[in-house]
Amino acid sequence: MMVEERYLLARERIWEIKKEHMLQKEFQEFFTAMAEFLEMICENYTFLTEGGLKKSSLDELKSRNHRLYEDILPENYESSYANPEVCVARLGEKYGPLLCCLYAELRSLIPLMFEGRLEDMVIRMELFLEIYGSFECRQAEEETLPEYDALREMIYWYVNDYTRDAAEKKLRDMLLPESDFALQIIEGDLSDPRYLYYFGEYVTENEIETWKHLLSIPEETLQKMADTYTEGYRIGFQMGNKDITRKKTVGIRYCLGFEPMIRRAVENFRRMGLEPVIYRTGENMLQGRSMNRGGYRGAVPNRQYDFDHKDDQALVLDRKLMQVKLEALREGYEKYKEQASVFGGPAVVETFGEKMTSLKEKEQALHLSESQQKLSVEYASAAGEIQNTYIKGEERSFTIIAFPIPEIGKDFASIFDEVIRINTLDYQLYQRMQQVMIDTLDQGKYVLIKGMKGNRTNLRVMLHTLEDPEKQSNFENCVADVNIPVGEVFTSPVLAGTEGILHVSRVYLNEMEYRNLMLTFRDGMITDYDCTNFDSREQNRKYIRDNVLHHHESLPLGEFAIGTNTTAFVAARKYKIEDKLPILIAEKTGPHFAVGDTCYSHSEEVAVYNPDGKEIIARDNECSIRRRDGGTGAYFNCHTDITIPYDELGEISVVTCDERVIPIIEEGRFVLPGCEELNRPLER
């Protein structure tokens, strides 16, 4: 049967549901609400296919966009079926979570509709009808509800049957420039904000005001933003001793509103011989759903909604399905292996400034069981290895830059200008001062880090032994390349002997707040963890295990770094935006510690050199080195940076082999001779 015919049949059946009253009242209300949502999707699909986007006014596009997302907006979420608490209260503990998960999957129709992916729309509409039909049949025949396991099996086989196709489409979007849905919009008319509604993402005043601001700044400033971004990508290959001329594509990830800059970046990349691929974040059960959005995206309608549905795979995940997903991924990469081999890696534009809200852990939401958590870790590790087989870590690179959005407050324009200045600081000045720091650190056996003013950090970080100090270094001199802006020296510590407590009074990691985050290390591995977000220790530990440890029993200290961008620190304090800084900038405003993989994950064999010509030999630790024996546990597929701000930092000192103690920072100030310039922003 042709997909168009399947669509028409499904649409017709869905429209009939609103007229039917065969189910128990609470379930009839749920399916009627879902039918109304799908009816809205179908109406919008007709609107799109008839060219409605180009014909409509800004007000109409804004109204249509709002209606698509209004049900999950915070002001409506407490009465939405997308909220697990609501679904369980109305439909019961047994069926509520499953039907809530179904609704979340139906909401993935919105981007599919805009991209005209009719078959992907139809399979979700048919899943809905299959589940409704099961309720309808049992109610008509026996006046009872369908078996829960039968409903779960329907969703299980939906995921099983369509995973291969979904994996292939995701890789096609990620690797092939021909999948240019977003690029066509970016290279179109950007003089009218109506284009923002062409993507099918949620659009707020943030995206519109960002667009306005970028159009208002001088052309040379806009070009400078694009140049800094693309040049950082190029230098990343150069500093990593990787050949960019072997690459043909670059993955651009950004947030809506930045199209005027992205268009110039596209031109820059093409001059480097790189064609952009710009794909959307996958937000469904087939392609994966999480709190972290890759690709391009609009505004996040509701972070609590994302948090509530991040573990929806718990409904179906088992070992057999995990193997299906891995086979699908391998088959997809094999199909596009030539395109994967010339993919250079991502170039990311992050945003910051959104108003943060505390997330609530809900017992009604779906949660991975202990065995499923282990499967999730196993899948992530295996998927990472598959990807690295086709997109080799030693050949790819990346870059990340960040800018504020209007929601940051009334000083948006000033903060934006300040961030441009921070992103374009004199890297040569920082390079010289950081080299002084590295020369001192390279004399050390270990580094001591201690907090102050209530910060309970007390850590000893062990360093690798330099066999030839004239030609080797432990620390990378990081200026404005892959991680913009400038400002850090970093290393992969020796795990054995690295121990103590890391404490931060308040930190945002992946846009999630942690209060009094405490990690305890022994031989470089996390042995205990806690925070004070929730009333119970059990809830606090689950929050950290799920979102920092990513379901691992433990993680190593993969990176130790000293941030040197005091200008960024002072700007954050001046505008009171410390809690809004992305980790990209925040990690430069004090020492930071990454749990998970090292910075050289999957590319440890590539020799990396500092500007002074010395090779950085600290690219492995006792976990990553296991890859050479083919053993498990080499990689954890996560890397989370945790920063201590300067004003909570009592001491950073390096201890040499002959037990000399050389202070680098004392009471939040750089005391190492040759680094005094770093204190000037703090003093001002």
pLDDT in tens, 436-473: 999 999 999 999 999 999 999 999 999 999 999 999 99
Task: Say if residue 251's pLDDT is above 90.
Answer: yes
Q: Where does the pLDDT of residue 140 fall: very low under 50, low under 70, confident under 90, or very high at 90 and above?
A: low
- Which has more confidence, 282 or 491? 491
pLDDT digit string (tens) for 483-504?
788 899 999 999 999 999 999 9
Name residue 557's amino acid: L
Alpha carbons 53 and 68: distance in angstroms, whole number = 15
Alpha carbons 235 and 483: distance in angstroms, whole number = 11
Task: Say if residue 141's pLDDT is above 70.
Answer: no
Q: Where does the pLDDT of residue 428 fall: very low under 50, low under 70, confident under 90, or very high at 90 and above?
A: confident
Cβ neighbors of 165 (< 8 A, separation 6 or more) are none
Instruction: Name the one residue in this structure whose structure tokens are 């979340």.
Output: 104
- Give the rounded distance of the alpha carbon of 87 from its chain centre: 28
Alpha carbons 372 and 76: distance in angstroms, whole number = 32
Looking at the chain, how many residues does it have? 684
Give me the sign of the Cα torsion angle 18, 21, 23, 29: positive
In this prediction, residues 318-337 reach a mean pLDDT of 96
Which pLDDT score, from 0 to 100, does residue 291 have? 65
Instruction: Name the one residue in this structure whose structure tokens are 């140049």.
Output: 227
Q: Residue 451 pairs with which residues in a beta bridge?
A: 649
- Which has more confidence, 256 or 586? 256
Residue 565 near residue 588 (C-beta atoms within 8 A): yes
DSSP 238-253: HHTT--GGG--EEEEE
- Average pLDDT over the chain reads 93
